[in-house]
Chain A
Amino acid sequence: MRKILLTSAVFGLACAGLLGYQTVKAQDQELSPEQEIKLVQEFNRMMAEGINPGEIWAEMGKEAFKKYNLDKCDFGLGPGKVEGAFAQLPRYFPDAKKVMDLETRIGWCLQQYAGMTPEQVKKFVQQCWGKSQCMGEYDAIVMYMSMASNGYKVNVNLKDPQVKRMYEMGKQIYYARLGPWDFNCATCHAGQSEVRIRATRLWSADRPGEAGHAVATFPKYLVRWAQPMTMHFRYSECIRQMRWSPFEPHSDLAVALSTFLYGTANGTEIKVPSIGR
């Protein structure tokens, strides 16, 4: 009993953000590196079993989904059907005559059914970018839609010529060196050798399974901002760090990148939301 209480106390404090507590504890008892790794693994396992704070957004998104008339929107499986819709996106939509990923489709439907102008949609999408503890309705809708596909496997139809064309374009963008710093996505996220930023091991599109693990877990709850990060926000941040020209959400560039990444990730099980530092 006492042991369980102690573990829970450590767990509670650690989850609450006092990661330093574990360090102090480790110093007192002089744990070996193996024991420390075990402690961290135990922490990660408990974190995976627990409740992700991102689920708050999913509950909020259920209301916002109805508020903005998105139940009229066809996500590829019929109007208003959300279960498993995220798994088969990006795909070609005949009504828009375009290949669209989840977020682009939401933006298109907001224009069609909620009566928003493109400027309003852009403002709606970017309302929480660069902030913290922001309860954005857009993030909530994306989180709700993605969580409805939990357990499904990513299944992008690459036999469709339109999707295939977008996939090839995405591949070119991924490997194109651009900007004053001559960077491309592949500088960090490709190749067989391991690339790190400080202690974080970066995923690579060339190592099998890693692209799937990276993209099938978005949107991700970030503890440092206390809000989730959607895929287009992630593109925007990467492109800003590479010093490319400013990123436009729901642009063709984003759809091409999405098609390449989700196409590469085909067959991975969707597990949303995940948690990051």
Chain B
Amino acid sequence: MAIGTAILRVPKEAQKGQIIRVQMVITHPMASRRRDPQTGQEIPGHFLTKLQLFHNDQLVSEMIMATGISANPFIALPLKADSSGVIKIAYEDNRGGKWEKTAEITVK
């Protein structure tokens, strides 16, 4: 599976005003910038820099990331569910990759 694909999981149904957990796993090497011990060549870093959580196109939270976070990170963010609709995560890395993933939620 290619870099940047994600599994996004939210509860299918929620009560109004309930605080749900938006869970995700993003496929990414999260490699830090370093030098090769044998040759001394610089190996450039490759890591996620920003993660945004949208609820019905409204920005809810934003996470600034850097190296020091494990490969294939599992992240859980809280969200207060007040209306049904689409939950979207948008994330980007330091090499210009940009991805999105959406999930739907029904609020009673």
* Interfacial residues, chain A to chain B (CB-CB below 8 A): 1, 4-5, 8, 11-12, 15-18, 46, 50-53, 55-57, 59-60, 132-133, 135, 223, 226
Which of A52, A53, A55 neighbours the largest number of chain B CB atoms within 10 Å of its CB?
A53
Partner of B19, one of A1, A17, A56: A1
Please tell me if the beta carbons of A18 and B23 are within 8 angstroms of each other in the complex: no
A31 to chain B minimum Cβ distance, whole angstroms, is 23
Partner of A8, one of B21, B25, B27, B71: B21
Chain B residue numbers with a CB within 8 Å of A18 are 68-69
B24 within 8 A of A: yes
Known pairs A16-B73, A59-B1, A60-B1 / 15 extra A-B pairs, C-beta < 8 Å: A8-B21, A11-B76, A12-B75, A12-B76, A50-B76, A53-B25, A55-B7, A55-B25, A56-B1, A56-B27, A57-B1, A133-B71, A226-B70, A226-B71, A226-B72
Alpha-carbon separation in the docked complex, A52 to B68 (Å): 19
Chain A residue numbers with a CB within 8 Å of B77 are 8, 12
Main secondary structure of the interface of B (DSSP, over half): strand
Chain B contacts with A in 1-36, Cβ cutoff 8 A: 1, 5, 7, 9, 19, 21, 23-25, 27, 29, 31
Q: How large is the interface on B (under 10, 10 to 19, 20 to 34, 35 or more residues)?
A: 20 to 34
**Once A and B bind, how many residue pairs between them come within 8 Å at the CB atom?**
68
Please tell me if the beta carbons of B73 and A15 are within 8 angstroms of each other in the complex: yes
Chain A residue numbers with a CB within 8 Å of B19 are 1, 4
Chain B residue numbers with a CB within 8 Å of A5 are 78
* Closest A residue, CB atoms, query B77: A8
A113 to chain B minimum Cβ distance, whole angstroms, is 23
B99 within 8 A of A: no
* Interfacial residues, chain B to chain A (CB-CB below 8 A): 1, 5, 7, 9, 19, 21, 23-25, 27, 29, 31, 63, 65, 68-78
Alpha-carbon separation in the docked complex, A266 to B77 (Å): 39
* Closest B residue, CB atoms, query A8: B78
Alpha-carbon separation in the docked complex, A16 to B63 (Å): 12
* Closest B residue, CB atoms, query A5: B78
Please tell me if the beta carbons of B75 and A56 are within 8 angstroms of each other in the complex: no
Please tell me if the beta carbons of A56 and B29 are within 8 angstroms of each other in the complex: no
13 A-B pairs (CB sep. < 8 Å): A4-B78, A8-B77, A8-B78, A11-B76, A12-B75, A12-B76, A15-B74, A50-B76, A51-B23, A52-B25, A55-B25, A56-B1, A56-B7
Partner of B24, one of A51, A135, A226: A51
Q: Would you list the 10 A-B pairs with minimal beta carbon distance, nearest first?
A: A17-B70, A226-B71, A53-B72, A16-B69, A60-B1, A51-B25, A15-B74, A8-B78, A53-B25, A133-B29
